[in-house]
Amino acid sequence: MDNLIVIKIGGNSINTLPPSFFSQIRQWMLAKKRILLIHGGGSQISELSDKLKIPVKKIDGMRITDKSTLELTRMVLLGQTQPQLLMKFTEAKIPAIGLNAADESILNGTFLDEQKYGLVGQIDSLNIKLLSEVLTHHLAILAPMALTADNQWLNVNADTAASKIAGLLKAEKLYLLTDVPGVLHNNTIIPSLSPKIADLLQSQNIITAGMKPKIQAAFNALNWGVTSVQITNQLASSGTTFVQEGDNENAISF
């Protein structure tokens, strides 16, 4: 999809988005860019799980999802974080529409590994026609949950969802916004990251559980044809840019 920018934002960031975030979105839309935002809500899901005495279990940063966790996840994403984001864009006078998997089968998926993760999915296809219509005049806010062919809801990691959606749509840019300014080594941002350096950092436990899905999602997006992929905490900062092997000229030496 031409002129598409995909942004993944964590649930923690919703209430701390700076004015510069909305200014950048507004500038892009005036320049006829299409903006698709994928929102998470992991911390809110964990917080509510604790209150309801539902155990929180993760493997390599991926949430194990049983039926109770799935219902709780849907409640948080569709009933809390998405409405909060929509209100923020309404206040900023940016036209935005909230979407989820039940809207004209917009996100279709299959189980990632049911035995290992439970009701966790991967996105296989999406309703490009619907997205194209919405993105013509609105920013779209999409929840990272998918539906199977027999209408089973599946929880999808937000970073994984954003990278696959960006890849399917051949986005020009993917921003994985997080609470750190990029991938860090000794408190310094690594300006560009190749697969080889990423593997090295993981073997040294410098890249740990919470960042692993983001790193994998970033490289997957590149492999699926997204032109530019960055992990950062704000749109105005380049953070860490992901590159193919051999293009990592500006990386920190290890």
Examine residue 126 and state whether it is found in any structural domain, yes or no: yes
Is 68 a member of any domain? yes
Angle at the Cα of 71 (from 85 to 220), degrees rounded to 5? 65
42 annotated to a ligand binding site: yes
For 54-105, give the DSSP string: PPP-EETTEEPB-HHHHHHHHHHIIIIIHHHHHHHHHHTT--EEEE-TTTTT
pLDDT tens, position by position, for the chain (254 residues)? 899 999 999 877 888 899 999 999 999 999 999 999 999 888 889 898 889 998 888 887 789 999 999 999 999 999 999 999 999 999 999 999 999 999 999 999 999 999 999 999 999 999 999 999 999 999 999 999 999 999 999 999 999 999 999 999 999 999 999 888 899 888 889 999 999 989 988 888 888 767 888 899 999 999 999 999 999 999 988 899 999 877 655 555 54
Say how many domains are in the chain. 1
CA distance 251 to 144: 32
Rounded-to-integer distance, Cα 3 and Cα 171, Å = 7
Q: What is the extent of the structural domain holding 30?
A: 4-242
- Is residue 253 in some structural domain? no
Residue 250 is assigned to a structural domain of this protein: no
Is 63 known as a binding-site position?
A: yes
Q: What contacts 184, CB < 8 A, 6 or more positions away? A: 190
* Cα–Cα distance, 165 to 162 (Å, whole number): 5
Whether 135 is in a domain gets the answer: yes
Question: What residues form DSSP beta bridges with 85?
Answer: none
Domain assignment present for residue 143? The answer is yes
**34 has binding-site annotation:** no
Backbone angles phi, psi at 60, to 5 degrees: 50, 40
Indicate whether 235 belongs to any domain.
yes
The DSSP code for 158 is H
5 CB-contact burial (10 Å; exposed 0-12 / middle 13-18 / buried 19+): buried
pLDDT of residue 185: 85
SS3 12: helix
Helices (H), ranges, 138-211:
158-168, 195-203
Give the containing element (helix H, strand E) for 50: helix 42-51
Radius of gyration of the chain (CA): 17
Distance CA 45, CA 173 (A): 28
pLDDT of the residue at 78: 95
Burial environment of residue 97 by CB neighbours within 10 A (0 to 12, 13 to 18, 19 or more)? middle
**CATH number of the domain within which 123 lies:** 3.40.1160.10
Residue 155, marked binder = yes
Distance CA 38, CA 16 (A): 17
Name residue, tokens 């779209």.
140
CA distances from 188 to 70, 90, 241 (A): 37, 36, 14
The answer to whether residues 166 and 124 touch, using CB atoms and an 8 Å cutoff, is: no
